[in-house]
Amino acid sequence: MCQDRAYLRTLAIGGLGENCYFLSMASATPPRPPAPRSLAQGDGWRVHDVVCTLGPNDPSFEERHSEVSIAIVLEGSFLYRSESGRSLMYPGSLLLGNAGACFECGHEHGTGDHCLSFHFSRPFFEEIAAAVAGSDRFRFPTTMLPALRQLAGLVVKVEAGSRDRSTLRMEELSIGLVEGVLAMLAGEAPRMADPPARDRQRVSDTVRYIEENADTPLALGDLADVARMSRYHFLRIFRQALGVTPYQLLLNLRLRRAAMALKTSAEPVAQVAFAAGFGDLSTFNARFRRVIGMTPQAFRGA
């Protein structure tokens, strides 16, 4: 979701929106973003697998959404800035981009990310928005949606479906993703705060720690130590910045990893549950069914 090389060091970088339009008209060759891997596409939609390897030593660049974009963050964290604000993206969260809008991604807090990126032509998106949100002029009012339990089942199904390589299946899931996002935004979108840079760094460090240790028991005190904050201050800042609590993020990661293991391996359900970090099979089965909408066995066979 970001550019690849230090190309704009010699350009005077102003407010968001200046350079992405300038680059489209410049005679010099603009920097090239990481080449996305195409997974599926059809009339008015396409899906890409995007891996970015930039880190704290790489400058960020302005880009522009040529189409309506929704990206599921699978791994890593990065800072995303658009016309709607600024947000720290993390696994399970959804990046939102309006067609024609300028945006910028930065990796000052860590190296790399992996996203499943969906793009929709304006006419196709407008048709869906008119039916779900009641207006074909709908624009995303926020930069992202947190890794909410209400969307977790949909996200897991979309991620699992991306491995099937069935165009029909991917088109159905792509439409379902737009419908789910619009339905969520048609209500009251979660409110989040943009913390100071130092706190963003600490939250990002903790997100990556949770990613690396999601299969082990984690305590609030352990995470607060990573963030170098008191437990209360850490919990408050984390929740304000990401829209979810550390436990909700941890549970989301464990369920997504278990779901992928069910689809890609023949390991027994109990082994999948324990490997993902669930200490009790009955708890895993209950949580999986509540969030995904079916039992682990049914999901594996779907």
Asked if 38 and 48 count as a contact pair (C-beta separation under 8 A), the reply is: yes
25 Cβ contact list (under 8 Å, min separation 6)? none
114: β partners: 51, 75
Ranges of H-type helices in 27-166:
122-132, 149-161
pLDDT at 117: 96
Beta strands in the chain (DSSP E): 37-42, 45-52, 62-64, 68-76, 78-82, 85-89, 94-97, 102-106, 113-120, 144-145
d(C-alpha 135, C-alpha 186), whole Å: 11
211 Cβ contact list (under 8 Å, min separation 6)? 75, 76, 91, 253
The domains located in the chain, with CATH, are 8-186 (2.60.120.10), 197-301 (1.10.10.60)
| AA identity, residue 163 | R
pTM higher than 0.85 for the full model?
A: no
pLDDT at 162: 86
301 Cβ contact list (under 8 Å, min separation 6)? none
Asked if 61 and 2 count as a contact pair (C-beta separation under 8 A), the reply is: yes
pLDDT at 16: 55
**Residue whose C-alpha is closest to residue 61's, from 13, 109, 111, 104:** 104
Asked if 192 and 240 count as a contact pair (C-beta separation under 8 A), the reply is: yes
Asked if 80 and 103 count as a contact pair (C-beta separation under 8 A), the reply is: yes
- The full length of the chain comes to 302
| AA identity, residue 120 | F
63 Cβ contact list (under 8 Å, min separation 6)? 2, 3, 20, 33, 102, 103, 104, 105
Over its length of 302 residues, how does the chain's per-residue pLDDT go in tens digits?
Answer: 444 333 333 233 345 555 554 443 333 444 455 678 999 999 999 999 999 989 998 888 889 999 999 999 999 999 999 988 999 999 999 999 999 999 999 988 888 899 999 999 999 999 999 999 999 999 999 999 999 888 898 999 899 888 877 788 899 899 999 999 999 998 766 667 788 989 999 999 999 999 999 999 999 999 999 999 999 999 989 999 999 999 999 999 999 999 999 999 999 999 999 999 998 999 999 999 999 999 999 999 88
